[in-house]
Amino acid sequence: MLSGKHILLGVSGGIAAYKSALLVREFVRAGAEVQVVMTPAATRFITPLTLGTLSRRNVIIEMFPSGSGEQERQWTAHIDCALWAHLMLVAPATADTLAGIAHGFAGTFLAATALALRCPLAVAPSMDVDMYRHPATQENLGILRRRGVHVLEPEEGELASGLVGAGRLPEPAVVCRWVEGLLAPPPQDFLGRHLLVTAGPTHEPIDPVRFIGNRSSGKTGFALAAAAAERGAHVTLIAGPVHLPTPPGVHRVDVTTGREMYGAVMEAFPQSDALIMSAAVADFTPAEPSGRKIKKEALPEEGYALALIQNPDILKAAARSRRRQVLVGFALETENGLENARAKLSSKNLDLVVLNNPLEDGAGFGTDTNIVTLISAGGNAISLPKLPKADVAHRILDAVAPLIS
Ligand SMILES: Cc1cc2nc3c(=O)[nH]c(=O)nc-3n(C[C@H](O)[C@H](O)[C@H](O)COP(=O)(O)O)c2cc1C
Q: What is the pLDDT of residues 164-221, one digit of tens each?
A: 888 999 999 999 999 998 998 889 999 999 999 999 999 999 999 999 999 999 999 9
Asked if the structure places residue 1 within a domain, the reply is no
Identify the band that residue 115 occupies on the pLDDT scale cut at 50, 70 and 90. Answer: very high
8 A C-beta contact, residue 259 and residue 238: no
Q: What is the model's pLDDT at position 75?
A: 58
Cβ(14) – ligand 1 distance below 6 Å: yes
- Domain boundary residue among 183, 217, 251? 183
Distance between CA atoms of residues 130 and 127, nearest Å: 8
pLDDT, tens digit, 9 for 90 and up, residues 123-141: 999 999 999 999 999 999 9
Q: Judging by DSSP bridges, how do beta strands 6-11 and 87-93 pair with one another? A: parallel
- 51 is a domain residue: yes
Please tell me whether residues 244 and 199 are part of one structural domain. yes
251 lies in the same domain as 291: yes
Q: Is 13 in the pocket of ligand 1 (CB under 6 A)?
A: yes
Q: Is 140 in the same domain as 63?
A: yes
DSSP state, 171?
Answer: P
Query: 321 and 242 share a domain?
Result: yes
Candidates 9, 388, 50; CA nearest to 176 is 9
Are residue 369 and residue 220 in the same domain, yes or no?
Answer: yes
State which ligand 1 atom lies nearest to the alpha carbon of 100. 25
In this prediction, residues 258-286 reach a mean pLDDT of: 97
Q: Percentage of the chain surpassing pLDDT 70?
A: 97
DSSP result, 48-103: HHHHHHHHTS--B--SS-SSTTHHHHTTTHHHHHHHH-SEEEEEEE-HHHHHHHHT
Per-residue pLDDT tens digits for 41-94: 999 999 999 999 999 999 999 888 776 554 454 556 888 889 999 999 999 999
Q: Quick one: which of 171, 173, 168, 172 has its CA closest to 153?
A: 168
Which of 183, 203, 226 lies at the terminal end of a domain, its last residue? 183
- Which CATH number characterizes residue 112's domain? 3.40.50.1950
Would you tell me how many other CB atoms lie within 10 Å of the CB of residue 31?
A: 11
**What was the pLDDT predicted at 161?**
80
Residues 148 and 281 occupy one common structural domain: no
Is 167 domain-assigned? Answer: yes
Q: Are residues 261 and 168 in the same domain?
A: no
Which has more pLDDT, 67 or 376? 376
Angle at 403 between CA 400 and CA 404, to 5 degrees: 90
Ligand 1: centre distance to CA 94 (Å) = 6
Both 97 and 220 in one domain: the answer is no
For ligand 1, whether the C-beta of 126 sits within 6 Å is yes
For every residue of 339-386, DSSP letters joined together read HHHHHHHHHTT-SEEEEE-TTSTT-STT-SEE-EEEEETT--EEE--S
- For ligand 1, mutation pick of 63, 94, 123, 130 (most atoms within 8 Å of CB): 94
pLDDT digits (tens, 9 = 90+) for 213-245: 999 999 999 999 999 999 999 999 999 999 998
Task: Assess contact for 232 and 249: CB atoms under 8 A.
Answer: no
How many Å apart are CA 56 and CA 51, to the nearest integer? 8
pLDDT at position 390: 87
pLDDT band, very low/low/confident/very high, at 332 (cuts 50, 70, 90):
confident
Alpha-carbon distance of 228 to 231, in angstroms, equals 5
Ligand 1: centre distance to CA 17 (Å): 10
* Overall size of the chain counted in residues: 405
Closest ligand 1 atom to the C-alpha of 42?
27
Residue 189 lies in a domain: no
Query: Phi, psi at residue 137, to the nearest 5°?
Result: -65, -45
Q: What is the C-alpha to C-alpha distance for residues 127 and 49, in angstroms, rounded to an integer?
A: 24
105 with 142, same domain: the answer is yes
Within-domain flag for 288: yes
What's the domain range around 314?
194-404
**Residues involved in catalysis:** 214
Find out whether the beta carbon of 12 lies less than 6 Å from any atom of ligand 1.
Answer: yes
Q: Strand, coil or helix: what is 263? A: helix
In angstroms, rounded to a whole number, what is the distance separating the alpha carbons of residues 373 and 197? 19
User: Distance of CA 401 to CAs 55, 193, 195, Å?
Assistant: 40, 10, 11
Strand bridging mode 250-254 / 372-376:
unpaired
pLDDT of residue 72: 52
Count how many domains the chain has: 2
* pLDDT at residue 294 greater than cutoff 90: yes
Least confident of 43-47, 113-117, 131-135, 330-334: 330-334
Among 155, 183, 211, give the residue marking a domain's end: 183
- 205 and 150 fall within a common domain: no
Distances (CA, A) of 47 to 21, 38, 58, 77: 10, 10, 12, 21
182 or 360, higher pLDDT: 182
202 lines ligand 1 (CB under 6 A): no
**Rounded distance between C-alpha atoms, residue 175 and residue 155, angstroms:** 11
Mean pLDDT of 320-344: 90
- For residue 240, which of 267, 212, 213, 200 has the smallest C-alpha distance? 200
**Residue 67: what pLDDT?**
60
User: Directed axis angle between helix 314-321 and helix 258-268, to 10°?
Assistant: 20
Q: With a 6 A CB cut-off, is 125 part of the ligand 1 pocket?
A: no
Q: How far is the CA of 258 from the centre of ligand 1 (A)?
A: 50
Q: Is the Cβ atom of 127 under 6 angstroms away from ligand 1?
A: yes
What rounded mean pLDDT belongs to the chain?
Answer: 92
Which residue's alpha carbon is nearest to atom 19 within ligand 1?
96
The CATH number of residue 334's host domain is 3.40.50.10300
Counting from 1 in the atom list of ligand 1, the atom nearest the Cα of 131 is 11
How much is the pLDDT for 92? 98
| DSSP secondary structure of 191-218 | TT-EEEEEESB--EESSSS-EE-----S
Residue 326, pLDDT score: 97
Query: Is 356 found in the same domain as 233?
Result: yes
pLDDT reported for residue 120: 93
Together in a domain, 112 and 224: no
Residue 223 to residue 235: CA distance in whole angstroms: 12
Sign (positive/negative) of CA torsion 75, 93, 5, 51? positive
